[in-house]
Amino acid sequence: MDTSDKVTEHINSYSDWRSERLKELRELIGKTSPDLIEDFKWGVPVWTHYGLVCAISGFKDYIKINFFKGAFLPDPASLFNSGLDSKEHRSINLQQLDTINSAAISDLIRAAVAYNS
């Protein structure tokens, strides 16, 4: 099974709203930065570009997009709401009724790619 199939299988393993939201994030990540390499590490979808950029995962009550170097990225929309004490990573936890701020997340993705470049 190739990496893309593993990511698809993982996302489809959620039988509720989390699957749809993870699909949205996967599509947003791919559209924002086509140079990112999609991978499957540590049991979750991960994107890299000259190093780790971001990962998405599902939990019982929320989904998460984790930026591995988030502490070094500008966050003018104040999306980061998890991992704020970490020296490097920052995350955005989204619950079922939360809106995905596509423009601001895209800005974070582009900033993370630029940071790694």
What would the pLDDT profile of 4-58 be if each residue is shown by its tens digit?
Answer: 999 999 999 999 999 999 999 999 999 999 889 999 999 999 999 999 999 999 9
How far, in Å, CA of 64 to CA of 57, rounded? 5
Contact 88, 71 (CB under 8 A): yes
> Which residues sit opposite 63 in a β-bridge?
58, 94
The whole domain housing 16 covers 3-116
pTM, to two decimals: 0.94
pLDDT of residue 13: 96
Q: Give the total number of structural domains in the chain.
A: 1
Q: What is the mean pLDDT of the chain?
A: 95
How far, in Å, CA of 8 to CA of 68, rounded? 22
How far, in Å, CA of 54 to CA of 97, rounded? 22
Q: What is the CATH number of the domain that holds 60?
A: 3.90.1150.200
Is the pLDDT at 1 greater than 80, yes or no?
A: no
